[in-house]
Amino acid sequence: MHLDEIVNWIDSAFGDESPGAACADVEALTRIMGTTGFQRYLKDQVNRQIIRDYLTNALVLGEITEGGLAAFASQLVSEESRATLALFMLMSSVEEAKDLPVASGDLGTLKPLTPTPKPRSHIKLVTS
């Protein structure tokens, strides 16, 4: 099974989206939600939720202490640093919270990767 097939399966498992709105409502929503400002706001809200959930889980599981939360304070102030921190958190397990670059003060800006011409990865399910 390919990764895109897995993603499609998960999306279909969520079921139908909420019932559609009337045409006039859709136009109003498109005017509001289609703006770059709203999209930026929405991304920041997602990043805040990722950080909130990650730090809460790390604290509850004893991976960081309440005092350890202070190490993250400087990265929670700006939108860009929240985006960077959320990405690090998405790529790390909660058990690695103490090892996040922010805890050591080593959180820099992200640099784009250069794509390689390798073929796409495939996941094979092995049955026993």
pTM of the predicted protein model: 0.60
Q: What is the pLDDT of residues 3-33, one digit of tens each?
A: 677 667 767 777 776 666 667 777 887 887 7
Q: What is the pLDDT of residues 72-86, one digit of tens each?
A: 888 888 899 889 889
pLDDT of residue 3: 62
Q: What is the pLDDT of residues 29-49, one digit of tens each?
A: 788 777 888 889 999 999 999
For residues 94-109, one letter each, b for 16 or more C-beta atoms within 10 angstroms of the residue's C-beta and e for the rest, the string is: beebeebebbeeebee
Which residue matches tokens 């959180």?
Answer: 107
The structure tokens listed for 51 are 């950080």
Q: Give the CA radius of gyration of the chain.
A: 19
Determine if residue 2 is left, alpha or beta; phi over 0 gives left, psi from -120 to 50 gives alpha, anything else beta. Answer: beta
Average pLDDT over residues 58-63: 87
From CA 59, how far away is CA 16, in angstroms rounded? 35
